[in-house]
Amino acid sequence: METKNILGIDVGASGIKGAIVDLEKGGLATERVKLATPKPSTPAAVADVIVELVKTIGYEGNLIGCGFPSIVRHGVAFSAANIDEAWIGTDIEKLLSDATGKEVIAMNDADAAGLAEMRYGNGIGEKGVVILITIGSGLGSALFCNGQLVPNTEFGHLYLHGWVAEHYVSNTARKKYDMTWEGFGKRFNEYLMHLDRLFSPDLVILGGGISNEFPQFGKYIDSKMNVTTAAMFNHAGIIGAGLYAYEAKFGQVLATPSDGL
């Protein structure tokens, strides 16, 4: 019987977070550890931090799931919006597997967060179109149709008022332009209305660190939109990365309340 405690890692622009994930419960089996993302965040530098993270957590298993801020196809990075451009064309899985001495399976970081929410969080049992948006240094996205992931959507790079959306309304933009919560909420509502026109989602789930502040800005979002926050907040990316690695490795979809969609 394969262990269902897998190390999940979430690579972000400012921090690299990890914990051992209990896939039976859909939660963390250990405390989350966060180390600073190196500057510059080159492949070699990030690999060194991940090796340190694995040692700090004391993980003795042989499988690691990694959520990565990039379009990820067959383990290779095809973009680098919030990480060093040297990652483009890099085989994430091979680099990190060689560095850690363990098998690493990678996916887009927002897709990882979305997968966790659909299996264990506020997406359980949701049919139709569900979009998860992570609000951080940029805007990450995950798209699901009847419970099935459509990977690498990158809705943070849609254009809005002539801007790349994440330059207009991410947490980085909020700080850069010194927005009030009202100002941020109104801008974010414009972004959600744009998504609504394009995709007609049945549910939008907001994740990332700033989702904790939803009571501050959520009052400015159109009440006709079905919007909620991620149940696991900042843990979703870690949990989803571990879940994806397990299922990709063993070819087994874990039983969850959302089965049967």
Superfamily for domain range 113-232: ATPase, nucleotide binding domain (3.30.420.40)
Quick one: which H or E segment has residue 217?
A: helix 214-217
Q: Which residues of 176-191 are buried (b: 16+ CB within 10 A; e: fewer)?
A: eeebebeebbebbbeb
Among candidate residues 102, 112, 118, the one with its CA nearest the CA of residue 208: 112
Residue 259 has a pLDDT of: 45
Which residues of the chain register pLDDT less than 50?
1, 257-261
The secondary structure element, H or E, covering residue 105 is strand 103-108
Domain 5-109+235-250, architecture per CATH = 2-Layer Sandwich (3.30)
Residue spans per domain, the chain: 5-109+235-250, 113-232
First-to-final CA distance of the chain:
27
> What number of H helices and E strands is found in the chain?
8, 15
pLDDT (0 to 100) of residue 1: 41
5-109+235-250 matches 113-232 in fold: yes
Task: Return d(Cα 138, Cα 43) in angstroms, integer.
Answer: 20
The pLDDT score that the predictor gives to residue 2 is 60
